[in-house]
Amino acid sequence: MKICPDCGRELSFPDSECPSCNKKIKKPFTIRDFLWENFRLFTMVGVTGTMISLIPNMGTRILGSSWIVDADNYLPIFLSIIIFFGTLFLTICFLMIFSLVLLERRDEAVHTTITLGSAKLLTWYEGDFERSILLCCLVPMWCGLILFFIMLMPLIPNKLSWLFAAVIGLAGIPLFIFALLGWKIGKTMIGKIPGLEKSPRLSMGVFIILVIGCLVLLSLAIPQVLDSQDPVSGTMEIRADQQYFSPQISSAKGLRLEITNISGRIIQASRHTWSADYGYFIRVIPSTSEVIILGNPVFDDYSREIYWTYSQNDPERNEKPVKIQLHLYPLQGNEELARSSLYLTWYTNDIVYVNKTFETL
């Protein structure tokens, strides 16, 4: 039996107006009617998402596959800008859709009311079943779409794009959250502290600045406390992603080498040099699988990982073990902070083996 949401009187099925309080009962929410009435919003979401997805393909068709990894190309930063602000636009569209889904919900007839003693826990309206189905589809879609685009920006292999993503991720988003928190605290304190209501805007601005300043100082102090020990004082190591490697057999572009036992903060604040007795180093772009030849040795590198390989048609291949060395230096100066080495021995004439015990033999 339907119940009037205003006076609580039971209604018969055909009633569209409460005979007691004369309040009109809204037609229950249905997915079919909602999609038909708000198809424009869904069209904007689809067009925006499709536009963002097609831009990299259009750039590849016109400029080739290397346009996005060219260090001197400024076009990838515009791609990052489109992704970020397109994501904000999609968020606005989804929030509008969510608000329309919940709009006039309380004007529908009450289906069930769950109470605990005298407290009302939940009021289930007639259209809440289909409303819940639609939200269960749209909310994960929105979260996945937003997280995908936001996490995609730092992976664009271009320095300008990476800098834009770093500024947005490390400065823009935290400052927005801090300002929102400061606004909430200021709004609460204005009503509790006498005298602040005389100049609410000034008081709100002061609270926002104070909260942002305190949280920024706290975020800078925590890493200093956690990293009180020198992270370079440990043994820096080189870790290979596989035990055996051959360019003739393996599908990988090279043997991936990663710096371990050292914090990411030190990696960002240092430069390092790679060298090997044999072979050369390359960089593999994950998004395009493009290979950039770096040579041997490689100076002033800033990435945590690098790839080592050798020529398949080299008639002068040395049968001696290959020693790969890593030297860590500060951004300014030539004082060595740490060093590490890794040995590769020849398992066969074409396959190298990561030999961690070579130095002890």
Domain assignment of residue 147, yes or no:
yes
Domain final position from 131, 157, 183: 157
- 152 with 277, same domain: the answer is no
Question: pLDDT tens-digit profile of 169-196?
Answer: 777 777 777 777 777 777 777 767 776 6
Domain assignment of residue 231, yes or no:
no
Q: Which domain holds residue 287?
A: 237-360
Question: pLDDT tens-digit profile of 263-277?
Answer: 766 777 788 899 998
The pLDDT value given to residue 136: 94
**Secondary structure (3-state) at 319:** coil
The tally of CA atoms less than 13 A away on the side-chain side of residue 143 is 6
- 197 with 146, same domain: the answer is no
The pLDDT value given to residue 231: 46
Chain position carrying tokens 């606005």: 92
**Residue 159 CB neighbours (<10 A):** 12
| pLDDT for residue 113 is more than 60 | yes
Domain assignment of residue 182, yes or no:
yes
Q: Residue 90: pLDDT band by 50, 70, 90 thresholds?
A: very high
Q: Residue 138: pLDDT band by 50, 70, 90 thresholds?
A: very high
The pLDDT value given to residue 228: 46
- 152 with 7, same domain: the answer is yes
The residues near 206 (Cβ < 8 Å, ≥ 6 apart) are 186
Domain assignment of residue 107, yes or no:
yes
pTM listed for this prediction: 0.58
C-alpha to C-alpha distances, 234 to 219, 240, 259, 260, nearest whole angstrom: 25, 19, 13, 10
- 115 with 202, same domain: the answer is no
Buried b (16+ CB within 10 A) or exposed e, 68-87: bbeeebeebbebbeebbebb
Question: Where would I find the H helices in the chain?
Answer: 31-37, 39-63, 75-102, 128-152, 159-167, 173-190, 200-226, 264-268
- 94 with 215, same domain: the answer is no
| pLDDT for residue 41 is more than 70 | yes
The pLDDT value given to residue 361: 43
Domain assignment of residue 164, yes or no:
no
The pLDDT value given to residue 303: 79
Domain assignment of residue 162, yes or no:
no
Domain final position from 184, 202, 226: 226
Mean pLDDT value across the chain:
79
Number of domains in the chain: 3
CATH number at residue 327: 2.60.40
The pLDDT value given to residue 6: 57
Q: Find out whether 93 and 48 touch, Cβ atoms under 8 Å.
A: yes
The whole-angstrom separation of Cα 7 and Cα 28 is 18
- 13 with 107, same domain: the answer is yes
- 9 with 151, same domain: the answer is yes
The pLDDT value given to residue 10: 59
- 84 with 105, same domain: the answer is yes
The pLDDT value given to residue 43: 92
Domain assignment of residue 124, yes or no:
yes
Lowest mean pLDDT across 8-12, 45-49, 93-97: 8-12
| pLDDT for residue 31 is more than 80 | yes
C-alpha to C-alpha distances, 301 to 71, 188, 269, 271, 361, nearest whole angstrom: 15, 50, 11, 6, 31
Which of 222 and 31 is assigned the larger pLDDT? 31
**Secondary structure (3-state) at 153:** helix
Question: pLDDT tens-digit profile of 205-248?
Answer: 777 777 767 766 766 555 554 444 444 445 788 888 888 888 88
